[in-house]
């Protein structure tokens, strides 16, 4: 057994309770064995590490990522820097020069709502102007909307006679021809036909290992990796298992799928490094593309209320199917009507057969209303939010929902907190930045990374630093039924911890986004060092 190591002279926030601190802890065999003062820690240790007054927090857990999609995105054209349609075209044109004619080009990360010249989605004509001799498909940062050029549409079998499985997922022009703009399952049909650069098992493993190392750089020691097959956001259990067996997995993974397993397994199967997580449903689309399912029409497009992927009965049946198999059930909901549907489904299946501690996951919950908040406060649910939606949505979301009562319930996180609802934070990576410090900054200040707007966006929804950081630590562990083994710094728990370069509780809140991780430890082992 390795000798116990004492870490002393630190400013250690245990996250056991607000303001709870210690100066030292001891780590042995991957766990904390003592938390308290320097003198006692030194007595118990075979080795001593001086933290030199540095701030230490528990290892952070991102409760919503499409991890393999992020790993895959590292091999594609990154369009996040594009600030205009013109720049997007230039980047595509330049990238295509190094790709053999006829070979697919995949791009990711653009946000047309931020474009300076036009906030319209790129059409096939836009892409054809600069890249007509390659099939092209570009994913908007949200991973729900896509732009495809003419050759891509042809290879994907999408023409004026094409009828998508889900109505409204392909845009057709006045001439009846597809414009090249599509979403979700329709785009997934095309993506499924594209040769995969990560087709081999070893290539998949290498990509996921690198992705986890990137997460460690930002203090993440855990991640809930979630499949979205209908958006071609795949995950592969065998990849994670193999990495774990080879000692190459540097983050603990709670792996979830949007399909029920074809064998009799339940939530929690696995070990401290890799567990089977929850059954994921997708109730509606997203707000950016006006496919989130709303009770009332969009304020900036009264012709639509969005799209639901299920009827109420279909959704209830799917929630029941997972619940009755002893699985945790989670669902993507953006619009208030979709939130009502999911609330009804959970109420129905839970009250007809109450089971102890099911911890349903309600994911995003972007637009709510007082009735929804009241109803879910009485249910065994967790709300998984994405704080960085503030950064990407701040300049246009109000236009979707208006500035009346509905607007007051846009990302209403303080209202949820005040109602006693447990919340966790995730990034939806690769849609958004996965740096937890940027998310805590957004939660506390209600501003984007450019510090806009000056007074904060719906500032009455700001929350404190402790509650914000809890979403990445103690609450995140609770979401995966692991609150007894991680999420706080306490004797007996896994020794996952992070050393920061500034005091997150003592610094000006506007500077939280600039905090850097100095070191990340997983089970007492160093998995990232800035120096």
Per-residue tokens: 367: 């637009």
- Amino acid 168: pLDDT: 87
Residue 233 has pLDDT above 90, yes or no: no
At residue 192, the pLDDT reads: 86
User: Hey, what are 186's tokens?
Assistant: 């329709």
Q: How far is CA 330 from the centre of its chain?
A: 13
DSSP 193-255: TSPPTT-SHHHHHHHHHHHHHHHHTTTEEEEEEE-BGGGTB---HHHHHHHHHTT---SEEEE
Query: Domain 5-53, CATH 3.90.1150.10 — does that match?
Result: no
pLDDT at residue 167 in the model: 85
Pick the CATH number of 76-191 from 3.40.30.10, 3.40.50.2000, 3.40.50.300, 3.10.310.70: 3.10.310.70
Contact by Cβ (8 Å): 105, 77: yes
Residue whose structure tokens are 């896994």: 494
Q: Domain boundaries in the chain? A: 5-53, 62-66+200-486, 76-191
Model pLDDT, residue 417: 98
- Rounded distance, CA 243 to CA 172, Å? 44
Could you tell me which residues are beta bridge partners of residue 298?
301
Structure-block tokens of residue 311: 């009827």
154-177 mean pLDDT = 93
Mean pLDDT in residue range 93-107 = 95
State the pLDDT confidence band at 2, using cuts at 50, 70 and 90.
Answer: confident
Asked whether the predicted pLDDT for residue 232 surpasses 80, the reply is no
pTM of the model: 0.87
pLDDT tens column, 37-54: 999 999 999 999 999 999
Cα dihedral across residues 226, 227, 233, 235: positive or negative? positive
Provide CB contacts within 8 A for 482, sequence distance 6+: none
Buried b (16+ CB within 10 A) or exposed e, 237-254: bebbbbbbeeeebbbbbb
Average pLDDT of the segment spanning 57-79: 94
b or e along 280-312 (b: 16 or more beta carbons within 10 Å of the residue's beta carbon)? Answer: bbbbbbbbbbbbbbbeeebbeeeeebbbbbbee
CA distances from 154 to 93, 372, 388, 432 (A): 20, 44, 36, 31
Average of per-residue pLDDT values in the chain: 95
Mean pLDDT computed over 474-502? 98
* Residue keyed to tokens 């895959």: 72
pLDDT of the residue at 199: 84
Q: What is the mean pLDDT of residues 158-167?
A: 90
Q: Is the pLDDT of residue 143 over 90?
A: no
Q: Over range 14-27, report the average pLDDT.
A: 98
Check residue 65 and give its pLDDT: 97
Cβ atoms of 327 and 361 closer than 8 Å: no
Tokens of 170: 């392909």
Percent of the residues in the chain that have a pLDDT greater than 90, as a whole number: 88
Query: 3.30.420.40, 3.20.20.140, 3.30.1390.10, 1.10.260.40: which CATH number matches 62-66+200-486?
Result: 3.20.20.140
**Farthest-apart Cα atoms in the chain, separation:** 80
* Token digits of residue 82: 């594009």
pLDDT, mean of residues 363-385 = 98
Q: Are 75 and 439 in contact (CB under 8 A)?
A: no
């Amino acid at each position: 057994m390795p000798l116990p190591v004492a870490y002393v002279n630190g400013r250690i926030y245990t996250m056991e309770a607000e303001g709870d601190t210690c100066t030292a802890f001891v780590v042995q065999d991957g766990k904390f064995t003592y938390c308290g003062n320097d003198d006692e820690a030194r007595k118990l240790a075979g080795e001593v590490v001086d933290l030199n007054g540095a701030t230490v927090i528990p290892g952070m857990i991102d409760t919503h990522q499409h991890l393999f999609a992020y790993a895959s995105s590292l091999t594609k054209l990154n369009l996040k820097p594009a600030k205009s349609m013109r720049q997007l075209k230039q980047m595509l044109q330049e990238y295509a020069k190094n790709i053999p004619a006829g070979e697919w080009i995949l791009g990711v990360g653009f946000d047309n709502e931020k474009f300076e010249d036009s906030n319209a989605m790129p059409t096939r004509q836009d892409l054809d102007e600069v890249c007509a001799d390659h099939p092209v498909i570009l994913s908007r940062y949200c991973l729900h909307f896509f732009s495809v050029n003419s050759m891509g549409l042809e290879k994907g079998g999408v023409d004026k006679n094409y009828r998508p499985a889900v109505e409204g997922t392909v845009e057709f022009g006045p001439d009846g021809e597809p414009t090249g703009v599509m979403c979700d399952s329709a785009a997934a049909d095309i993506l499924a036909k594209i040769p995969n650069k990560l087709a081999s098992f070893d290539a998949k493993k290498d990509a996921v290992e690198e992705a986890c190392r990137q997460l460690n750089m930002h203090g993440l020691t855990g991640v809930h990796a979630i499949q979205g097959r209908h958006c071609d956001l795949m995950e592969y259990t065998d990849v994670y298992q193999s990495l774990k067996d080879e000692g190459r997995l540097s983050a603990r993974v709670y792996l979830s799928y949007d399909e029920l397993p074809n064998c009799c397994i339940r939530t929690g199967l696995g070990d401290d490094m890799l567990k089977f997580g929850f059954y994921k449903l997708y109730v509606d689309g997203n707000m950016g593309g006006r496919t989130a399912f709303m009770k009332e029409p969009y304020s900036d497009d009264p012709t639509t209320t969005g799209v639901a992927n299920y009827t109420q009965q279909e959704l209830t049946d799917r929630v029941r199917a997972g619940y009755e198999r002893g699985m945790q059930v989670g669902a993507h909901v953006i619009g208030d009507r979709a939130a009502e549907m999911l609330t009804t489904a959970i109420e129905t299946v839970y009250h007809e057969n109450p089971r102890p501690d099911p911890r349903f996951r309600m994911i995003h919950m972007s637009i709510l209303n007082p009735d929804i908040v009241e109803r879910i406060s009485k249910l065994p649910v967790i709300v998984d939010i994405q704080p960085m939606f503030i950064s990407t949505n701040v300049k246009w979301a109000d236009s979707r929902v208006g500035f009346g009562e509905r607007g007051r319930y846009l990302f209403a996180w303080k209202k949820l907190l005040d109602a006693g609802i447990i919340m966790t934070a995730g990034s939806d990576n690769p849609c958004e930045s996965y740096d937890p410090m940027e998310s805590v900054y957004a939660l506390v200040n209600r501003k984007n990374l450019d510090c806009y707007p000056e007074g904060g966006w719906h500032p009455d929804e700001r929350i404190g630093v402790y509650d914000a950081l809890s979403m990445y630590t103690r609450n995140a562990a609770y979401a995966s039924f692991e609150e007894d083994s991680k999420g706080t710094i306490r004797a007996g728990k896994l020794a996952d911890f992070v050393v920061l370069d500034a005091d997150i509780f003592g610094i000006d809140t506007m500077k939280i986004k600039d905090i850097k991780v100095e070191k990340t430890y997983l089970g007492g082992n160093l998995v990232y060092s800035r120096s």
